[in-house]
Amino acid sequence: MNIVVPVKLVPDLVEELEIDESGAALDTTWMRLMVNEFDDHAVEQAILLKERGGGQVTILAPDAEDVDDVLFTAAAKGADRLIKITGPFEEQVNNHALARSLAAVVEELQPDLVLTGVQAHNDLDGPVGPLLAEYLGMPYVGYVSGVTASDGNVVAQKEYPGGLLAEMEVALPAVLGIQAAEEPPRYVAFSRVRQAMKSADISEQAVAELDLSGSPTVGRMFQPEAGERATMIEGDEDEVATRLVEIFKDAGVL
């Protein structure tokens, strides 16, 4: 099976986020990016499918700082082909524009299956998956945490609230939004990534222009107001524990 996995980089939420001078965008000066965690699950699911049934896995990513590392890491995990999409991506590109750019490249690859993360934390105009599916004329199923391939279709395990699952049969070619791979994304040692850097190639495909239509305009960004915040308990672990015991007693749970 020919599987394509588009991935994107997003701000690392472990770092402090700053809003820029315009007040309507994140300050990218010191922003550290990381691969969208759900995309990481999509990569893993693609490699699991390849290990089970053979085929080829192609990873696509729009250009960004450190994107080469992300692509080489995927190669070290077992991806066969790496494509970097270059273009004016340094601006705040929205998912409609990204999905249109991806669609042009994905179409030429003629995949049986496209796997992508079900969402990213900065998808203000919807996740990439359903948009991409529509631009490609393929069906879409999201919130997927398991995929079984058979002839001409796949059975996707779709998650609903409360732990309920639905088995959806999806005709190929199709796009699936991955919530979780069947196994946790594998760890690869840096030595293997370095090896991939020597042996794997990243091919580039240029996108000349981005069509940004389809996304709202942001008027203002802000951090959730302080004041609604928790009463913070200061002190070392013993002092915090003492206060917590009092709080638990007051709440009637101790």
Query: Which residues between 212 and 231 bind another protein (CB under 8 A)?
Result: 213-224, 228-231
Residue type present at position 227: G
Residue 148 makes contact with another protein by CB under 8 A: no
Tell whether the torsion through CA atoms of 70, 72, 78 and 83 is positive or negative: positive
Task: Determine how many CB atoms are found less than 10 A away from the CB of residue 6.
Answer: 28
**Of 94-113, which residues contact another protein (CB under 8 A)?**
96, 99
C-alpha–C-alpha distance, residues 213 and 216, integer Å:
8
205 within 8 A of 86, measured Cβ to Cβ: yes
Q: In the 8-state DSSP scheme, what is residue 71?
A: H
Comparing CB distances to another protein, the nearer of 206 and 218 is: 218
The least distance separating another protein from the CB of residue 134, rounded to whole angstroms, comes to 4
Q: Which helix (H) or strand (E) holds 107?
A: helix 95-109
The least distance separating another protein from the CB of residue 197, rounded to whole angstroms, comes to 28
Of 1, 61, 98, 141, the one binding another protein (CB under 8 A) is 141
Of 112, 127, 178, 196, the one binding another protein (CB under 8 A) is 127
Of 6, 62, 117, 129, the one binding another protein (CB under 8 A) is 129
Residue 160 makes contact with another protein by CB under 8 A: yes
Of 46, 131, 147, 210, the one binding another protein (CB under 8 A) is 131
Residues in the chain: 254
Tokens of 54: 């053979």
Number of residues lying near another protein (CB under 8 A):
85
Comparing CB distances to another protein, the nearer of 37 and 68 is: 37
Tokens of 36: 């969208």
**Of 178-207, which residues contact another protein (CB under 8 A)?**
179-180, 184
Comparing CB distances to another protein, the nearer of 55 and 214 is: 214
Residue 171 makes contact with another protein by CB under 8 A: yes
Task: Determine how many CB atoms are found less than 10 A away from the CB of residue 166.
Answer: 11
Residue type present at position 51: E
